[in-house]
Amino acid sequence: MNINPKAPVLTNDEIIINAPLIDVWNIHTDISNWSDWNDEISASRIDAPPAIGKTFTWTISGMEISSTISELIPGQKISWSGTVNGVLGIHVWLFRDMGDGVLVNTAESLEGDPVNEQIDFYQDGLNKTLRAWLESLKKKAEALQ
């Protein structure tokens, strides 16, 4: 699954994390513990290990979202989508071992009537949220080293 390149709100961001790929991947895909290291997320829960077709719930900015994993390539890619309050979000994460660290890329698209009505609001919020998520992941993974 890829983001919708024609959606009115698109964000793509990346960061280098100075930690082994396995650590970065395991932290990020331990969905039930996201709120332990990501201040943007107040709750998250998945009932089994992440797998294609698995649904998980998470709460961010006061919104509870139910997302379904659409693609999972261990150590390389995880993507999911979910709809809340008329907004469809498609989120893709890519992980690339750089030898001395991991390049983590995240891309997300948002679409739906609420987005169309407040594009700047959603764009600004998504940019800030994804940057904070990347920085929190980096801080957590590098703290383990």
| pLDDT surpasses 90 at 1 | no
pLDDT per position as a tens digit, 28-39: 999 999 999 999
How many whole angstroms separate alpha carbon 69 and alpha carbon 56? 8
Mean pLDDT of the chain: 97
The answer to the question of residue 27 being in a domain is yes
The answer to the question of residue 1 being in a domain is no
The answer to the question of residue 2 being in a domain is no
* Domains identified in the chain, total number: 1
Cβ burial, residue 6 (10 Å; 0-12/13-18/19+)? exposed
pLDDT per position as a tens digit, 103-143: 999 999 999 999 999 999 999 999 999 999 999 999 999 99
The answer to the question of residue 104 being in a domain is yes
Predicted pLDDT at 90: 98
The model carries a pTM of 0.96
The answer to the question of residue 75 being in a domain is yes
